[in-house]
Chains A and B, each alone.
Chain A
């Protein structure tokens, strides 16, 4: 079955609201990364976070390896945050498994 599951599948926020994106995985790993993708666009790394909590501006990622989950928190969302957020897991820097993504739409 699917080894990486993301929730929710899609999300609509009003500008300024917060979002919590979840990633659950069923295999062990030592590499975990969050990516952002615009429709038809490339993937841009948002966080490399195999364990613990990391923050960058309005974004915070928390990965709990023992519980096989990671979250991405977006605070004070902006229209430019709209797009798809993908989580990926793997070992030693090779990311073999991607989730199907959370499609985020931020509206005025």
Chain B
């Protein structure tokens, strides 16, 4: 059974609209992350959260807003969508520092913006 659940798996949006990507992890981790993977770029780190607090933000655009309503949730709201936002968005989690640092990924949400 997948321990990191991402919803939806696929979504299509029109330019200018808004979407929310859902992520829930059942690994008992306290650090969660968002990454983006598009066709011609390496996997890009976007955000990291620890104990529901933003720790690192490598996303230049404020159109991307993570939201953590619970310890094991980290959703990603994307507003004013652009075709360049088309990518697969991966949620990941890990245990806090002082451990192996192993990172676990969800199955991804593939977003297509028309």
Residues of A within 8 A of B (CB): 2, 4, 31, 33, 35, 40-45, 48, 50, 86, 88, 90, 92-101
A94 to B32, CA, bound (A): 9
A86 to B43, CA, bound (A): 9
Tell me which residues from 56 to 94 in chain B have a Cβ below 8 Å from any Cβ of chain A: 56, 58, 90, 92, 94
Interface of A is mostly: strand
Residues of B within 8 A of A (CB): 31, 33, 35, 42-45, 48, 55-56, 58, 90, 92, 94-97, 99-108, 110
Assess whether A94 is in contact with B42, with CB atoms less than 8 Å apart: no
Assess whether B101 is in contact with A42, with CB atoms less than 8 Å apart: no
A93 to B33, CA, bound (A): 11
Given A42-B107, A42-B108, A86-B43: A96 in contact with B58 (beta carbons within 8 A): yes
Question: What is the distance, in angstroms, from A48's C-beta to the closest C-beta of chain B?
Answer: 5
A78 to B45, CA, bound (A): 31
Assess whether A93 is in contact with B101, with CB atoms less than 8 Å apart: yes
Given A98-B42, A100-B42: A45 in contact with B104 (beta carbons within 8 A): yes
Q: Which residues of A contact B95 (CB under 8 A)?
A: 93
A33's partner among B42, B103, B110 (CB-CB below 8 A) is B103
